[in-house]
Structure 1
Amino acid sequence: MSELFTLPENAMHASEIARRLEAGGELLDKYLGEEIYANTDSKYLEAQRRRLAQTAAMHAERVGDKPTYLLRAPGRLNAFLEYLDMCAGDHMSTTIDGDIPVAISIRDDDRLNVANANPLFPPDEVSISAEFQRFASAPWGKHADTLDDNWDNRSLIYPHRGRPQGNWINYVLSPYMRFKWEYPEIKLRGADMTFGQATAPFRAGTSSSSALVVLAFLTLYLANRSHLPQMNIQDVCRMLGEAEWYVGTHGGANDQTTILRNPVNSVLYNRHSRPTLESTPLPFVKGVHVVLANSLWEVNKTLGGNQSFNMRKGWMKMGDEIMTLIIEAAADARSKGLNRSEGWLSNLVIEKFGFTPGCRPTLLETHPEYWEKIEANYHKFGSLHEDILGIPNAAINEMVMLLPVKITPEEAGRILGKDKSTIERIYTRPKRKIGGYHLRTTARFFHRENIIGRRLERIFLEAEERTASGALSVDSPEYDNYRLAVGQMVDELQDALSFDFRVSIPQIDLLLTIARRGPGYLGGKLTGAGKGGCVSILVREDDSEAMCAYLDHEYYSRPERFEFYRQVLEDERRTFKPGTIEHESAEERLHILESALKSIPDQRKVVTFSRGACVIEPPA
């Protein structure tokens, strides 16, 4: 069911926002503690009030005491599933109490005047129309024969056109660029934007970048609501997912959807497999805390991070296209009566595509009715579950095994009718000469995730129903089985991320290995795109602080745990000349690492599941 997107209309002077937050009071603490942060500890709330008040005060000092909106957007926590939004699957995630605040005031021109309390993010002022003109007018002639000129392809060929790679303002601009692509005739007003002290970890796998994108869209909406078309929230979520492509990362819309829509104290199951995106809030199991621990191996999308991320999108895209070709070839064979002999499907794949299935697909060869359901219901790898396709998971396993383990750009070009350079442009060029596109393990990864996601949903709902009805106590051994089952499934997900999708790294594996020996451990996995960043560790509620202390002693306080990462950065600094982006990035990451190791308590924390992005409206 569609739901119109809207936000509160009344702005307050920045000084009044700051005054109310500084004054505090029972009503304000109840609002922040119960409706926003899911944490009613008085010292915690005092720190949040102070930080938010400082954001409003800094804004007033910078641009004057104007009518202002104070916004905040939380980090996203993929404590459960990953990547499913990128292939029309059902994704499960939540939002944490770590967030990014911003105070915004509407301007009469089309300029974005942006500043940040964090000195790593320098201030800037840009024209929305000028930036869009530069992006939209980039020459397309040499691509016209092979690629349509649409947002997907243009953002792939010309990400952040004419702007510095990795610049944080690119994220702020991205929803403006995406909106202008769809509505070029609408003139957008700009805004003064002052970002305050963030508590969401950045470059750490909690999608602080997507939080920036969401905040920028909320700013766009508040500054221009009088002349915007009506938009339902599903379309907004889709647009925000696509907006982030402007920076060079071609992901799905789950992060933005969760950041925008998650209710307080909930896990959100975003059903991208359905014709219209549906989001189902789920209750989390009781007696379990999540410890968010930073591996300190930074996810740097400025350099190799985007290549790794987009490579995996290439695996998904190519795998889906070849799976679709197999489905079409099987339909053609069946229409010609060529499906009656033993081994017909295996022979078809070998003869038509040139690779050998990984098993004898007995179920698919002997059940023609399965193919009717596959043809009707298959839509990308996110469809790989019996609830969606309508065939048994055992038959879906056979579908997965029809794909090659790995395929080279040359082999892919032969099957898809494209030359090697076009293949590498569309699906991302492998980093190594012997590299390729890992299709079978990618399909298996999404099938495994879908199975685990459905099991998690059943556990969350069943545990809540039985405790709410009084049939089960949260202190009972039977309820504890739910906690153990959830932890085991999270460990299974990490296994799939490591071995099927290959996005874990030794530093994350080391941190999780240490955590498994810690007090109250139930399960753990990386969060976000992988290749660095944070892990989420499920622990028994009574042991969460003990787990933090254990990690301090066994991981963060042991210099040898970071020798390899430090050496990688030192090598980069020596290899690249001063002034290059690689050299500067290595120096910056070394500085961040050393600073982090001097502030160990900031590197791990027990998180609560906060409300999604919103306007802060402090009561008088």
Structure 2
Amino acid sequence: MAMRQLEGAARAPAQWRALCAGSDRAFDRYLEREIYGRGGEEYLAAQKRRFAETVEAHAAAFGDGECFLMRAPGRLNAFLEYLDMCAGDHMSTTIDGDIPMAFAPRDDDTVVIRNASALFPERRFSIGEARARFASAPWGSGESAGLPDNWDNRTRVHPYHGGARGDHVNYCLAAFLRLAWDDPGLVRRGANITFGPSTIPLRAGTSSSSAIVVLSALACLRCNPARADALDVPGLCRLLGEAEWYVGTHGGANDQTTILRNEVNGILYNRHSREKLDSTPLRFLEGLRIVMANSLWEANKALGANYVFNLRKGWMDLGDDLLTAAIDHCASHAGPKGPGWALARVREHFGWTIDAPALPALDALDWRAVREKYRRFGSLDAGLLGVPQEAIAQLIMLLPAEIGPDQAGAALGKDRTALARDYTLPDEKDRVWRPRNAAVFFNTENILGRRIERLLGEAAAALERGVAPDSAEYDAFRRMLGECIERAQDTIRDDFMVSNEQLDLLLRIAAEGPGYAGGKLTGAGSGGCVCVFVREEEAEAMLAHLDRAYYGVPAHFERYRGALRALPDAAVRREMEENLARALADTPAQRRIVTFSRGACMLGL
């Protein structure tokens, strides 16, 4: 496979240092125009210093042999959320914050990982031994009873097998392991890897973990070109998404696809609804900027972020299985089909509560055609299913608003072990799954995605026919996009319920700021960052407003401090309290006007 992301030459550390330390105008233009989409002497000098530090650390660890230099950006879900996890079309971009990495191939199958930061000690693993260990994990009883033995199920039953949850080495191992899983004979060479200073916010919903997975996979492919030759880009995107399952979050492939494929100043609409993953590039609006602001509430597993993510995945997967069962049941109906037959058939057969007196749009559906077109919740789109929007809304009403483990198990023929494995059991506070909420969320996101795609396309066409960016006609596109973003946040907060009080507070304060056009959380939620859409001429003023009205008010962080004080692990509590103190002492690092950078790539002219 010829991949642009793998194009680039290895150089001696001294050559990299000279390139980064000098004032080579061609290299500066390359970074500005082809990598970051922004320039300025101070900004570019800061990036080159990070690259130089990465190479210095690599040379100190592994010697002065030639190495490759690569970087991968964070992902920004400025528009939609979660759709890739249910075969829906997702839209996102990449920020100008990134992780640099130096690497060189080895002659054996060992991967040695170093980091420019002393916080991360050296780690190493053998690709072959790691694969053998994972392949020999117990199978056929307990959680794995009755399951096919494949990557999907093994990562569900044995995530980060033999490792520690949250360990940074898991993300690198995941990439090498997934690429070696199907074709171990094609992944025989390891690498010496050094990660450099990152400018992606930590635990802030911008997928720094996915950036590490992508970087590690590209290093693996560069060291094992025969494995690269066996892949196309959509296939690699799929494998990258599956690789991250190993660390314990069973998500989709949107983050990895965007991090791999995005272009400078670009947005990608990733078509997960298609059999072969494709991406549609879109152009952002003139005259708008995005301010990414960190709420400072860490999206951390210690505060339940993993549980919230996995439970919402459970809402989605359970709802998908229930809706699939309902569609199958209606498609197989051979009896009379009078008014209300579909609702009555589902209600009587499954027994869950459907609080709707009538769903007339369902009676006339071609249920076999619906069954043929329905793949997952991402298909809850009138265009994908080929049915009216009214029918989509009524299909969603077939789902229970709430369902507990006993009723779900009876409907699907699963015991509690299988329910826990497949959907994450709700805890004592949650008690139930909310599959209808999930369906409403995904349907709304689908509608918004199509609307934003049309809006951005119409705006680009308007510019091409000579409409001025500062005209009232073009400004209407900015207002409409802002309305879509606000609606996206509404459904994230009210239907999917993954916002929290800290994020809501930050967005309320941003909405009072100069030039505000719309705002939403980015990433999985439960903390992290928000995206604030702001008129370009007011972007700097918005930063000052957030400094004063949000970061400058100590009382805004008391609830978070209280949550930290309640943590049982003293070491984790101290670490997170120190993170908060450092963040508040460096406010400018917590909010930034982002540009959309190029996706992962080797560096080189």
2:336 corresponds to:
338
**Separation in 1, partners of 2:151, 2:480:** 42
1:554 corresponds to:
549
Aligned residues, how many?
604
1:88 maps onto 2:84 in alignment: no
Cα drift, residue 363 of structure 1 = 4.0
Cα drift, residue 375 of structure 1 = 2.1
Give secondary structure in 1 for the equivalent of 2:67.
strand
Determine which of 573, 578, 585 is the counterpart of 1:591. 578
1:513 corresponds to:
508
Q: What amino acid is aligned across from residue 29 of structure 1 in structure 2?
A: D
1:242 corresponds to:
242
1:349 corresponds to:
346
Q: Where do 1:205-216 residues align within 5 Å?
A: 205-216=205-216
**Separation in 2, partners of 1:378, 1:42:** 52
Q: What amino acid is aligned across from residue 528 of structure 2 in structure 1?
A: G
Cα drift, residue 188 of structure 1 = 2.4
**Separation in 1, partners of 2:234, 2:435:** 30
TM-score (ref. length: structure 1)? 0.95
**Separation in 2, partners of 1:616, 1:5:** 11
**Separation in 2, partners of 1:344, 1:367:** 10
Query: Conserved in 2, the CA contact under 8 Å of 1:200 and 1:206?
Result: yes
1:426 corresponds to:
422
**Separation in 2, partners of 1:169, 1:253:** 20
1:485 maps onto 2:480 in alignment: yes
1:130 maps onto 2:129 in alignment: yes
Q: What amino acid is aligned across from residue 353 of structure 1 in structure 2?
A: F
Query: Conserved in 2, the CA contact under 8 Å of 1:596 and 1:602?
Result: yes
Query: Conserved in 2, the CA contact under 8 Å of 1:5 and 1:236?
Result: no
Determine which of 518, 525, 530 is the counterpart of 1:523. 518
Q: What amino acid is aligned across from residue 466 of structure 1 in structure 2?
A: A
1:73 maps onto 2:72 in alignment: yes
**Separation in 2, partners of 1:24, 1:431:** 58
Cα drift, residue 559 of structure 1 = 0.7
1:401 maps onto 2:397 in alignment: yes
Q: Where do 1:33-48 residues align within 5 Å?
A: 33-48=32-47
Alpha-carbon spacing, 1:615–1:233, altered in 2? closer, same or farther (3 Å):
same
Cα drift, residue 127 of structure 1 = 2.0
Alpha-carbon spacing, 1:3–1:278, altered in 2? closer, same or farther (3 Å):
farther
Cα drift, residue 37 of structure 1 = 0.1
Q: What amino acid is aligned across from residue 447 of structure 1 in structure 2?
A: N
Query: Conserved in 2, the CA contact under 8 Å of 1:4 and 1:230?
Result: no
2:297 corresponds to:
297
RMSD of aligned alpha carbons: 1.6
User: Deviation string for 1:299-341 (max 9, x for gaps)?
Assistant: 11366222221211111111111111111111122xx23312x
1:57 maps onto 2:44 in alignment: no
**Separation in 1, partners of 2:396, 2:2:** 36
**Separation in 1, partners of 2:424, 2:583:** 33
Give secondary structure in 1 for the equivalent of 2:69.
strand
**Separation in 1, partners of 2:191, 2:3:** 23
1:165 corresponds to:
165
User: Deviation string for 1:161-193 (max 9, x for gaps)?
Assistant: 111111101111101111222123344211111
**Separation in 2, partners of 1:230, 1:365:** 45
Alpha-carbon spacing, 1:520–1:187, altered in 2? closer, same or farther (3 Å):
closer
Query: Which 5+ residue runs of structure 2 have no aligned equivalent?
Result: none
1:540 maps onto 2:540 in alignment: no
Determine which of 463, 485, 503 is the counterpart of 1:467. 463
**Separation in 2, partners of 1:311, 1:146:** 23
1:579 corresponds to:
none
2:252 corresponds to:
252
Alpha-carbon spacing, 1:368–1:11, altered in 2? closer, same or farther (3 Å):
same
Query: Which 5+ residue runs of structure 1 have no aligned equivalent?
Result: 577-581
Query: Conserved in 1, the CA contact under 8 Å of 2:179 and 2:217?
Result: no
Cα drift, residue 395 of structure 1 = 1.1
Give secondary structure in 1 for the equivalent of 2:243.
helix
User: Deviation string for 1:521-551 (max 9, x for gaps)?
Assistant: 0011110011000001000000111101100
Determine which of 593, 596, 603 is the counterpart of 1:609. 596
**Separation in 1, partners of 2:360, 2:232:** 42
Identity of aligned residues (%): 49
Cα drift, residue 468 of structure 1 = 1.4
2:565 corresponds to:
570
Query: Conserved in 2, the CA contact under 8 Å of 1:3 and 1:234?
Result: no
Greater Cα shift, 263-272 or 307-316: 307-316
Greater Cα shift, 152-161 or 112-121: 112-121
**Separation in 2, partners of 1:14, 1:338:** 77
**Separation in 2, partners of 1:3, 1:375:** 38
Q: What amino acid is aligned across from residue 516 of structure 2 in structure 1?
A: Y
User: Deviation string for 1:444-468 (max 9, x for gaps)?
Assistant: 1000000000000011110011111
Give secondary structure in 2 for the equivalent of 1:274.
coil
Give secondary structure in 2 for the equivalent of 1:67.
coil
Cα drift, residue 469 of structure 1 = 1.7
Q: What amino acid is aligned across from residue 408 of structure 1 in structure 2?
A: G
Cα drift, residue 196 of structure 1 = 0.9
Query: Conserved in 2, the CA contact under 8 Å of 1:78 and 1:527?
Result: yes
Greater Cα shift, 586-595 or 428-437: 428-437
Query: Conserved in 2, the CA contact under 8 Å of 1:165 and 1:302?
Result: no
Greater Cα shift, 479-488 or 5-14: 5-14
**Separation in 1, partners of 2:335, 2:117:** 67
Alpha-carbon spacing, 1:584–1:134, altered in 2? closer, same or farther (3 Å):
farther
1:152 corresponds to:
152
**Separation in 1, partners of 2:92, 2:187:** 35
Cα drift, residue 226 of structure 1 = 4.2
**Separation in 2, partners of 1:603, 1:452:** 29
Determine which of 364, 384, 391 is the counterpart of 1:388. 384
1:498 maps onto 2:496 in alignment: no
**Separation in 1, partners of 2:585, 2:44:** 25
Q: Where do 1:306-325 residues align within 5 Å?
A: 306-325=306-325
Query: Conserved in 2, the CA contact under 8 Å of 1:205 and 1:527?
Result: yes
Query: Conserved in 1, the CA contact under 8 Å of 2:283 and 2:457?
Result: yes
Alpha-carbon spacing, 1:560–1:155, altered in 2? closer, same or farther (3 Å):
same
Query: Conserved in 1, the CA contact under 8 Å of 2:70 and 2:600?
Result: yes
Cα drift, residue 560 of structure 1 = 0.5
Cα drift, residue 101 of structure 1 = 0.3
Query: Conserved in 1, the CA contact under 8 Å of 2:341 and 2:363?
Result: no
